[in-house]
Amino acid sequence: MKRAIFPGSFDPITLGHYDIIKRSIGLFDEVIVAIGINAEKKYMFSLDERQRFIEEAFKNEPKVKVVSYEGLTVDFCLKNNVQFILRGLRNPADFEFEKAIAHTNRDLAPIETVFLLTSADTSYISSSIVRDVIRNNGDYTKLVPSSVIVK
């Protein structure tokens, strides 16, 4: 079974994340969306909210599983028999950053990183931009799946 982890804070999940997950479903038998927990980071949405947003967005997709984890991503992979780390790339800066992490992960464990380019219409979206739009009462509904829209 080909299993991939798509790690991130997903604070909140964006249409860019959604696109990467949706496109990866055809590549893997299981896609684990793994919400990393970092005690030093201040989140806009609680862990429960972030998990609910993702689960709701993929409620009809049995190949997508949502979990949370602490520690190194490669340790999670080794403990859970995950062979691939999935990452989305929006721009050249993302590539340089992600390449360094992929090389480090490969040194730590026999885990392959698979990169997917974001689609052109979502490549500008990041969670930090979405949070800024929300904080300033802007229309963020075009940037996130409907599961994130707070009524």
Catalytic residue positions?
17, 41, 90, 127
CB atoms near residue 89 (< 10 Å) = 18
CB atoms near residue 81 (< 10 Å) = 8
DSSP per-residue letters across 50-93: HHHHHHHHTTT-TTEEEEEE-S-HHHHHHHTT--EEEEEE-SHH
| Residue in 71, 74, 33, 75 with CA at minimum distance from that of residue 50 | 33
Judged by DSSP in three states, 22 sits in helix
Q: Beta strand 84-89 with 64-69: parallel, antiparallel or unpaired?
A: unpaired
The answer to whether 62 touches 91, Cβ cutoff 8 Å, is no
